Amino acid sequence: MAAEIELVEVTKRYPGVAAPAVDAVSLTIRAGEVVVLVGPSGCGKTTTLRMINRLIEPTSGRITLDGRDTSSLDPDRLRRGIGYAIQQAGLFPHLTVGQNVATVPGLLGWDRSRIADRVDEMLELVGLEPAEFRDRHPRQLSGGQQQRVGVARALAADPPVLLMDEPFGAVDPITRGNLQEELLRLQAGLRKTIVFVTHDFDEAVRLGDRIAVFGPRSRVLQYDTPEAILADPADDTVAGFVGAGASLKQLRLRKVREVELGRAVTARVTDEPGEVGRLLAGCGHERALLLDAHDRPVAWADVRRPGRPRPVGGAVTRESSLQDALEAILTEGGPAVVTGERGEYVGLVEVDAVIGAVRKPRGDQAGSAS
């Protein structure tokens, strides 16, 4: 369950402030996608986010949820249908973890047993053992655990939309990485529409299906996939925000299946070394990949020493990232072997293919359609 959100020329002027905090922002957020609003401090990300659930009322413009104008809906009902998670979790300190998670189901009038089941289900979903955590108070939790409860609370009533405002901003980098991983895992099953605010571009790259890079007054400088923004920043401001290491960041996002695979000379691991040597000499190649009876790669045989093959290091799959492929290339000291579902040899990733992939935006790439 997810919903499309559309912002049309949305503006917010705070009373007594001459310049608008958000100036005529238009953005379509597709159902089931994670859209990350990223930009420098004070550019209006939080204001934009809060206008979606009407915690802040827009001065002008229109926001629709699955085509329905949110200004025509009762704000309380609107908010119960939109999960909201914020920095430092924003938990009610005097309520237990269970009571915190139960907030919106309670407001919606669910019966007690359904709420109790849901609380346990949500705590399990975010990796907290219900029996251990249900009756604790927020102060008895670590920062990361509090954030998990915050996410559990936001998801409790199964809202189609989740708004997250720097939800992982207050935890250490390792916990933050874990929480990001968990959110991605959750979202793979839930497919909510998630609008996520951060000032950390790396977090945006990691989490976003799409990223909206905001400049001052929420002007949208670029709205595209992380891959496209990394490969081709719209202007110098975006490029500055993307920061150093854009190519390396791209490698994390791009998959082996997006590059054209090379071919190895292959032989059977049971073949006589002399035979393998003659095969290589005949075709002018230096190395042959030796396969077992199930076509699985076993070792590399070198033309100079065909009798002393070297075991294949780590293989990658078509779904591996190009970063993993590069790691394998560096370990192997040559092309990385790509295997299929049964571990069978399917091709090689060469270093040139990896370099070529991050030089061109996605779509120009050979084999990107697969």
Ligand X SMILES: Nc1ncnc2c1ncn2[C@@H]1O[C@H](COP(=O)(O)OP(=O)(O)OP(=O)(O)O)[C@@H](O)[C@H]1O
In the complex, which residues of this chain contact ligand X (CB under 6 A)?
A: 14, 17, 21, 41-47, 199
Is 297 within 8 Å of 267 (Cβ atoms)? Answer: no
Closest contact distance (angstroms) between CB of 13 and ligand X is 9
Closest contact distance (angstroms) between CB of 213 and ligand X is 12
Q: Which residues of 207-230 are buried (b: 16+ CB within 10 A; e: fewer)?
A: bbebbbbbbebbbbbbbbbbbbbb
Closest contact distance (angstroms) between CB of 349 and ligand X is 39
Closest contact distance (angstroms) between CB of 91 and ligand X is 20
- Which residues pair with residue 197 across a beta bridge? 37, 165
Closest contact distance (angstroms) between CB of 14 and ligand X is 3
Pairing assessment for the beta strands 193-198 and 34-38 based on DSSP bridges: parallel
Residue with smaller CB distance to ligand X, 43 or 152: 43
- Give the DSSP letter string of 230-281: HHS-SSHHHHHHH-S-HHHHHHHH-BGGGSPPB--EEEETTS-HHHHHHHHH
Tokens of 335: 């092309």
Is 209 within 8 Å of 225 (Cβ atoms)? Answer: yes
> Residue with structure tokens 């954030």?
147
CB atoms within 10 A of CB 146: 20
Distance between CA atoms of 54 and 269, rounded to whole angstroms? Answer: 67
Sign of the torsion formed by the C-alpha atoms of 137, 141, 145 and 150: positive
Distance between CA atoms of 24 and 11, rounded to whole angstroms? Answer: 5
Q: Which residues of 173-204 are buried (b: 16+ CB within 10 A; e: fewer)?
A: eebbebbbebbeebbeebebbbbbbbbebbbb
Tokens of 117: 């089941």
Closest contact distance (angstroms) between CB of 41 and ligand X is 3
Residue with smaller CB distance to ligand X, 133 or 214: 214
Closest contact distance (angstroms) between CB of 220 and ligand X is 13
Distance between CA atoms of 298 and 344, rounded to whole angstroms? Answer: 10
Closest contact distance (angstroms) between CB of 196 and ligand X is 12
Closest contact distance (angstroms) between CB of 215 and ligand X is 11
Residue with smaller CB distance to ligand X, 44 or 138: 44
Is 16 within 8 Å of 68 (Cβ atoms)? Answer: no
Q: In what helix (H) or strand (E) does residue 197 lie, and over which residues does it extend? A: strand 193-198
Closest contact distance (angstroms) between CB of 241 and ligand X is 13
